[in-house]
Amino acid sequence: MKIKDVRAHCDIPCAVYDPGVAQYAALSVLRFLDLIAEMPDSIDSKKDLAHLNRLVQQKEDHAIEVKDAVRTIWGDYFKEPHMEKFPEIHDLAHSIMMTASKCKQDIDRQNGVDLIEKVNRFAEIFWTTKEIETEIKTSLNPPHVKMVVPVLGD
């Protein structure tokens, strides 16, 4: 038997992609920014310094997770027909990378808000390419911001 046509969207045709990983990592970045902002401006104890250090490290790790998840979907999933329908996807993916870097470099909350907004748009485009309707829900996790989620069926 001769195989005439094979189609796959990644190196290993797993068909398992979900921007939720990037969305919840972005949500975590914003949460860590809020927790850092809640700390006193003057650190007087080693315990507080250690706590701040952990918060910053987790913020960094989750910003990297956003970048990794978006880069994987953008690089492995999005194909020419998707890019023709959503020409913004290249600039959006790049903007997410840059915004995640800003979140690593600074503690400005607005960077975290911007990151969530951009990753939500990325998720909306992703689900649209799969012909799955989305809706906006408030996250059950702090800081309780709006998230784009797929409308789940049975």
Q: Which residues pair with 137 in a beta bridge?
A: 147
Q: Where are the domains of the chain?
A: 20-150
pLDDT of residue 8: 45
pLDDT along the chain (154 residues), means of 10: 54 78 98 97 94 98 98 95 97 98 98 98 98 97 97 86
pLDDT of residue 82: 96
Q: Give dist(CA 124, CA 118) in Å, integer.
A: 10
pLDDT of residue 9: 44
pLDDT of residue 154: 76
pLDDT of residue 1: 61
Query: DSSP character for 149?
Result: E
Q: Give dist(CA 30, CA 113) in Å, integer.
A: 7
Only one residue has tokens 């400005």, namely: 108
Q: Give dist(CA 110, CA 30) in Å, integer.
A: 9
pLDDT of residue 26: 98
pLDDT of residue 17: 93
At residue 104's C-alpha, the angle toward residues 98 and 106, to 5°, is 100
Q: Which CATH number fits domain 20-150: 3.40.50.720, 1.10.10.10, 1.20.120.400, 1.10.490.10?
A: 1.20.120.400
Q: Give dist(CA 41, CA 117) in Å, integer.
A: 28
E-strand spans in 57-103? Answer: none
